[in-house]
Structure 1
Amino acid sequence: MKKQASPAKRSTTRPKPAPGYHHGELQEALIAASEAILAEQGAEGFTLREAARRAGVSPAAPSHHFGNAPGLLTEVAIRGYDALADALREAASGKQGPRDKLHAQGLAYVEFALSHPGRFQMMFANKRLVADDARLRQASRAAGHAFEIVVAELVGSTPKQAKTAAAAAWSTVHGFAKLALEDKFGSVKTDGGRREIMMTLDQVLNYLWPVSGARR
C-alpha cells in the first residue's frame, strides 16, 4: 500500500508577485505607475487601485509591498528627493564661484519642478506620506544640504548662519516653483511658457545672487 503524501504545510510567506515579475521588479513597476499617475493627474488623482491596474497586478499587490498608499507614495517622494539632490549637486559642479553655483542650483530646482510636477508636489505633501520615515527625512536633508554647502561657501559664516541662509535660498526657489506650477509666470504646458518662466527666474536670481558679469 502506497504511503499517502503528507498535507502541504501552510505557507506563512507573503503572496508571490504576479507571473512575470520578480519581487524587486514588481516594486519598480508600482513606483513607475505611481509616478505616471502623479504626472498626469496630480496627487488628487492617485489611488492604489489605479497604480496596481497600470502595473498589471492585483489591487492587493501594492499593500503587500508598501503597506498602504502613504507607504508607496513615500517611496516615490524619497526617490524624488534623491533625484533633486543629484540635480542640485550636478548644477553646482560645473560652476566656479559660489554665486554662479547658487544661481545654477536655483535654475535646476525650478526646472526639476517643471519637469516632474506630480512628483515634486508629492514630495512636500506631508499628509499623504509617512512623515516619520527615517529614509524620507534623510533624503530631504540631503537635498537641503546641497544648498547649504554652496551657501556656506558664499556667506563664509558660522554653520548656523549658513543653514539660515540656505533656508532662505531654498524658500525663494521653492516659492517660485510653486507659483510657476500655478501658471503665475507663464503656462507650464507650452514650450514658450516654460521658456518665459525660466527667463523670469533667471532675472530673479540675478537680482538676488548675480552671476559673473550679470547686470542687476
Structure 2
Amino acid sequence: MKLHWSPRSPFVRKVMITLHELGRVDEVTLMRNTVASHLPPNPAVLADNPLGKIPALVTDTTVLFDSRVICAFLNRDGALPDSIDAQRWQALADGGTDILLAWRTELARPQGQWTAITDSYGAKLRAVLSVLNAEADRLHATPFGPGHVAIICFLGQLDFRWGDSAWRDHFPQLAALDSVWAIRASVRATAIVNDNDDGNDLTAGELRFEKETP
C-alpha cells in the first residue's frame, strides 16, 4: 500500500498512529506531499484523491480517503476496540482539528481575518476542550481506540500550531490524560515534524482561554 503523507498533517498522523498500534507500518510506503486549501491542488494527490486531500491510501484495488475511512479499513479486524463512544470522541476531535486548520487558513488571508468567523472558531474550540476535559475519567477507563487516536492528534495540532494557547493550564484533566498517552510508542513515533520550518507566527496570540469560574 502507498500513503500520501506529510509529517505535519494531524489527519495523516491518525493513520500513522493506527498503523503503529496495529504493527502494520512496514506494509505502507510513504509518499511525501504538500497540500493546503489556499494552494492549487497537488497533481500527485489529485491523481488519486479527487478531493486533493491527504491522507489518501492507495491499495491494490482502490484508493481510500478521509482519515476515518482509512483507519476503519486498517482496523477492520477490530484489534483496536471501537464503539459508539469512540466514534463520538473521534467526531468531536476531528471537528476540533478541522477548526484549527480552517482558522489558520483564515489568518493567512491577505485582506485579514474575518473576526466573526474566528470568534466562532474560538468559542467552539473552548467547548470541545471543555467536553473532553469533563470526560477525561471515562476516556481513561476506556480501552485505547480510534477516539483516543483522534484526540491525541487534535491536541498535537494545538501544540504544533497554537503553542502559546496554554490549553493545559485550563483543562488539567485532559492535560494529565494527554501526558499518559504521550508515552505510548505509537504517539512518540509519530510526533509532528515541521519539515518546512514555516513557523507559527500566524497564530501567535490568537487563541486564549479564560480561567474557569469556580
- Could you say which structure has the higher helix fraction? 1
Asked which structure has the greater RCO (Cα within 8 Å, sep 6+), the reply is: 2
- Could you say which structure has the higher strand fraction? 2
- TM-score over 0.5 (shorter chain): no
**Max radius of gyration: which structure?**
1
What TM-score do you get using the length of structure 1 for normalisation?
0.30
What TM-score do you get using the length of structure 2 for normalisation?
0.31
